[in-house]
């Protein structure tokens, strides 16, 4: 297992789901990914921590009453100082959705929109340091933002988080990786062709030991397969939609 005790600043460290039906979501993802759950109390709006083999891998919550937020998987970059990150976001043309807030003794959280319209979060860790398992089946493996202006988005995330954008040498797509000293931290995909006009957003990839079997299982659990499994140089990928209508991707990385 790839266990993480401390995420590198400027890299993705946490994912969570806002859903219309937390009980149904727990059933679906529990069966699909082998997750177990710790459900918080009313003070946290019953926020659920999702566990894989006893390790924290994701969060899950219902949409609070009166909140007009989209149902979606969200992702968070690990930062050393969320207030300083807010200033960097605004300097580079992004927008804060609300002031940075303390989450009990767990950490500090901010939520933003990048200059191309995609929403993301940041997490300044205290006692909660983010996902404890990465790059394994049932844990987050990759993150990419789908945007109408990949060059602009790459510059933005690179400047805010100290990452180096590099465009793939593939004339058929416009795709950038955002890199730190140890490798690629996330990706940036240009929305083009039939996907032009799709709302900008981050896609979360969960590791899979068998993408075909997991896609079939998702359907049997009431989800949908938006894009059937297909091979890429980086692994076998499928795009799914859970029973509440939220999109997520699965990937069996090359080499297993």
Q: What is the pLDDT of residues 135-191, one digit of tens each?
A: 999 999 999 999 999 999 999 999 999 999 999 998 888 999 999 998 999 999 999
Percentage of residues of the chain with pLDDT beyond 70: 99
- Strands 247-253 vs 201-207: parallel, antiparallel or unpaired: parallel
pLDDT of residue 245: 97
Q: What is the pLDDT of residues 59-73, one digit of tens each?
A: 999 987 777 788 999
**pLDDT score, position 250:** 98
Please name each of the domains of the chain with its CATH number. 12-125 (3.10.180.10), 140-253 (3.10.180.10)
Give the residues of the chain that fall short of pLDDT 50: 1
pLDDT at 256: 54
pLDDT for residue 59: 98
């Amino acid at each position: 297992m790839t266990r993480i005790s401390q995420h590198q600043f400027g890299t993705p460290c946490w994912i969570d789901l806002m859903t219309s039906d937390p009980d149904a979501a727990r059933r679906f993802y529990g069966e699909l990914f082998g997750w177990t759950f710790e459900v918080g109390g009313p003070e946290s709006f019953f926020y659920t921590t999702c566990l894989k083999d006893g390790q924290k891998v994701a969060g899950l919550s219902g949409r609070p009453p009166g909140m007009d937020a989209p149902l979606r998987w969200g992702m968070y970059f690990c930062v050393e100082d969320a207030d300083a990150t807010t200033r960097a976001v605004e300097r580079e043309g992004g927008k804060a959705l609300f002031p940075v807030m303390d989450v009990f003794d767990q950490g500090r959280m901010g939520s933003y929109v990048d200059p191309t319209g995609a929403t993301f979060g940041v997490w300044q860790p205290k006692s909660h340091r983010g996902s404890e398992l990465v790059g394994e089946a049932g844990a987050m493996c990759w993150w990419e933002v789908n945007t109408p202006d990949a060059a602009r988005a790459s510059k933005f995330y690179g400047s805010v988080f100290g990452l180096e954008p590099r465009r793939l040498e593939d004339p058929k797509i416009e795709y950038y990786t955002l890199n730190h000293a140890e490798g690629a931290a996330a990706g940036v995909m240009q929305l083009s062709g039939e996907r032009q006009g799709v709302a900008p957003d981050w896609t979360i990839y969960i590791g899979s030991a068998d993408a075909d079997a997991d896609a079939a299982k998702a359907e049997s659990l009431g989800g949908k397969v938006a894009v059937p499994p297909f091979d890429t140089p980086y692994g076998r990928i499928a795009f799914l939609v859970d029973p509440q209508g939220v999109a997520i991707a699965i990937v069996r990385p090359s080499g297993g």
